[in-house]
Amino acid sequence: MKVSILDDYFDTLRTLDCFRKLAGHDVTIWNDHVQDVDVLAERLRDTEALVLIRERTQIRTPLLERLPKLKLISQRSVYPHIDIDSCSRLGIVVSSSQHADTPSYATAEFTWGLVLAGMRAIPQQVANMKAGKWQIGVGQSVGGKTLGIYGYGRIGAVVAGYGKAFGMKVLVWAREPAMAKARADGYATAASKAEFFEQCDVLSLHMRLVDATRGIVKAEDLARMKPSALLVNTSRAPLIEPNALVAALRAGRPGMAAVDVYEKEPLRDVNDPLLNLPNAICTPHIGYVTRDEYELQFTDIFDQIVAYAAGAPTNVVNPDVMAKRRQ
C-alpha cells in the first residue's frame, strides 16, 4: 500500500523498531506541519493508508473528498480531528486503538514534572540564572499539600499514585463511577466541584475532550482556587472555557499554571497572552513524546495497516463502513 505519515517533526518514526512492520509498503513521511487543504490534497493524492500522529492535523470533509484513493486512516486514541461520518460515506476505514488497559506513562511522568517545575518555579529560576541573576523567590514543597485529580482515568490514576508517593493528600473529582474507583483505590473524593477547586493546592486535569467535557472548567471554578495553587493541564486545552485561564492567572487565582496543550497547535505566536504570563509554564505538547511511548503507539498504528492489507481491519471505529469500503 502507498502509506503517508504526517507531522513526524523530527523524522523519528523510521528509526523505531516497529517501523519494520511497514516493510514492503511504499511509505512517504512528511516532517513539517501543514493544514492547507490544497497542499494536503496534492501531497496525499495517491495515498491509500494515512498515518496520523494524534491530533496534529485536522482531517475534515473538504480534504477527504479530494482523496479518492484513500482507503484507511490509522492512528491511536481519540479522533475529534477526523470527520468520521464523511469517512464512512466515502468508504474510508478509520482504525484507532483505544489502548484501554495501557495508560500513557510518558504523559503521567511529564505531568509530574510540570507539578514540580511549577511549585518550585524551576524554568523561571533557570532563565534568571542564565540572565546573570541569582535566586528569584521562594518555592513550595508538595509534601502535605492537596493534589486534585480532575478525571480519574488511566493517566489520572497514575498521577495520583505519584502524588501519594510524594506525601501529598490526593483528592478526586470526576463522574461517579470514576470516583467510586478512586475511593476503592484509597483516595478521598470531593463533596462538590466547588469544594474541589477550593481545596486543591495542585489541580491536574485528566479528561478526554468530548462534547460533555468541552469547557467543563469554568471561570468561576478557577476563581475559587487558592492564590498559591497550581493548575496543570496535559490533557486538552478546550477542557477550560475559552480565555478563562489567562484571565484567572492575571487575577491571581490560581497563582500559577503549567500547560502542555493549546486551543490551536502548533502554537508559534510569541505574542500569545499565555506565553507572556510570568506565572505560566508552557511546553509544546510533549507529554506523550518519548521514544518509548512512540514504540507503543506506532506498534498499534502499523499493526492496523498490516491487518488492513491482509483483509482483516482491526480497531475500526466506523464499522458501518465495512460493507462499502474502498477496494
- Locate the domains of the chain by residue range: 2-99+291-325, 105-282
Catalytic positions are 236, 265, 285
CB atoms within 10 A of CB 143: 10
The proportion of the chain whose per-residue pLDDT surpasses 70, expressed as a percent, equals: 99
CA–CA separation, 133 vs 155, rounded Å? 37
State the amino acid at position 137 in one-letter form.
Answer: G
> Are the C-beta atoms of 46 and 72 separated by less than 8 Å?
no
- 6-32: pLDDT as tens digits: 999 999 999 999 999 999 999 999 999
pLDDT of residue 211 exceeding 80: yes
Torsion of CA 94, 39, 267, 116, to 10 degrees: 40
- Enter the CATH code of domain 2-99+291-325: 3.40.50.720
Average pLDDT over residues 242-254: 98
DSSP string for 80-141: TTB-HHHHHHHT-EEEEE--TT---HHHHHHHHHHHHHHHTTHHHHHHHHHTT---------
CA–CA separation, 184 vs 177, rounded Å? 11
**What pLDDT, on a 0 to 100 scale, did the predictor assign at position 99?**
79
CA distances for 182 relative to 149, 203, 217, angstroms:
10, 16, 20
> Are the C-beta atoms of 53 and 7 separated by less than 8 Å?
yes
> Are the C-beta atoms of 171 and 147 separated by less than 8 Å?
yes
**What pLDDT, on a 0 to 100 scale, did the predictor assign at position 143?**
98
pLDDT of residue 101 exceeding 80: no
Split at pLDDT 50, 70, 90, the class of 118 is: very high
Bridge partner list, 188: 171
CA–CA separation, 180 vs 175, rounded Å? 9
pLDDT of residue 103 exceeding 90: no
Domain 2-99+291-325 matches domain 105-282 at the CATH topology level: yes
Question: With respect to CATH, is domain 105-282 assigned 3.40.50.720?
Answer: yes
Q: What is the model's pTM?
A: 0.92
DSSP string for 165-194: HTTPEEEEES-HHHHHHHHHTT-EE-SSHH
pLDDT of residue 251 exceeding 80: yes
Q: Sheet of 2-5: strands edge to edge?
A: 26-29, 2-5, 49-51, 72-76, 93-97
> Are the C-beta atoms of 198 and 221 separated by less than 8 Å?
no
**What pLDDT, on a 0 to 100 scale, did the predictor assign at position 245?**
98
SS3 28: strand
Nearest Cα neighbor of 113 from 40, 41, 52, 162 is 162
Angle between helices 105-119 and 291-309 (to 10 degrees): 150
Split at pLDDT 50, 70, 90, the class of 1 is: very high
Average pLDDT over residues 132-154: 97
- 177-190: pLDDT as tens digits: 999 999 999 999 99
